[in-house]
Every structure is written in structure tokens, then in C-alpha cells.
Structure 1
Amino acid sequence: MSSKQGGKAKPLKQPKSEKKEYDESDLANIQKKKDEEKALKELRAKAQQKGSFGGAGLKKSGKK
């Protein structure tokens, strides 16, 4: 193939999506998801501060 165009082809521009109208149940579900994600982030931050569990690491056998 003898093509003068080099490099990666640019992706086509996506059409702008229109804003969706949500009813009360959708808004409640979205808020619930945001709250769950926030709680997970907090738990991850706490887990990183505490360090690894057990502290034993990998156990090596005596065999060689």
C-alpha cells in the first residue's frame, strides 16, 4: 500500500449529545451511585494508610 498519509488516522468527531431529562427515580439512582463511589474511595484511602494485611508476605518453601 502506497499511502502518503502517515501516522494514526484521526477519529471522527462525535456529535454532541443532547442533555437528557431525568425523572425523580433516575436522579435518586444517580445520587446513590455517587454516594457509593465516594464511600469506596474513602475505604481505599483508609486501607492504603493501614498498609498490607497480615504482614507475612510470600512464604518461601525450604525446597530448592
Structure 2
Amino acid sequence: MEGTSKVADKNVLKYLIKVLKKKPLNAAKKATKEMDDDEMAFKLKQKEDQKALEALKTKAAGKGPLTGGGIKKSGKKGFGN
């Protein structure tokens, strides 16, 4: 009888591995909530702010770096001149 027990155990293990490898079930979709006027205005303002930020980024990218490139030296060659 021990031989059949080992075969059954192997079959159970194969089944469990097969089940565990399957993709998990998708989470239930959240119900869409209706937005009131305040929420809609807030979302609209966020979109407008994002567009303005993108416009500023493109404008600033064309100007080049803000720094002068390190330590600036004066034109003087010595102390006594």
C-alpha cells in the first residue's frame, strides 16, 4: 500500500504546483464614483497647471545652463599692476 501513497502524493504535488502557477484572479473593479463640481474644477486646474509647467520646461530648455561654468577669474595678472 505504501507504493500507491507515494504516487498519490506526487499527483497531489503536481496538481498543487499547476494551480499555484496559474495567473491570480483580477481584482474586482472599483465602482466609478461621480465627481461633484469641486472635484471636477480641481482636476481641470491640475491639468492646466501641468500644461503650463510643460510649456515652461520647453521654454527653459532652449536657453541653456544657468551657471557660468565655474570660478570666474579677473583679468588682473598680479598684485602690483
User: Same fold by TM (over 0.5)?
Assistant: yes
Counterpart selection for 2:64 from 34, 51, 57 = 51
* Alpha-carbon offset, residue 45 of structure 1: 0.5
Who is 1:41 aligned against?
54
* Alpha-carbon offset, residue 20 of structure 1: 1.9
Identity %: 40
1:21-43 C-alpha deviation (Å, 9 max, x unpaired): 10011000000011001100100
Counterpart selection for 1:15 from 28, 31, 53 = 28
- Evaluate the alpha carbon distance shift between residue 46 and residue 20 of structure 1 in structure 2; reply closer, same or farther with a 3 A threshold: same
Structure 1 stretches lacking a partner, 5+ long: 1-9
* Alpha-carbon offset, residue 18 of structure 1: 2.4
- Point out the structure with max Rg over C-alpha: 2
- Evaluate the alpha carbon distance shift between residue 33 and residue 58 of structure 1 in structure 2; reply closer, same or farther with a 3 A threshold: same
Structure 2 stretches lacking a partner, 5+ long: 1-22, 73-81
Runs of 4+ in structure 1 over 2 Å off = 10-18
Task: Report the TM-score, using the length of structure 2 for normalisation.
Answer: 0.50
Size of the aligned set, in residue pairs, is 51
Who is 2:43 aligned against?
30
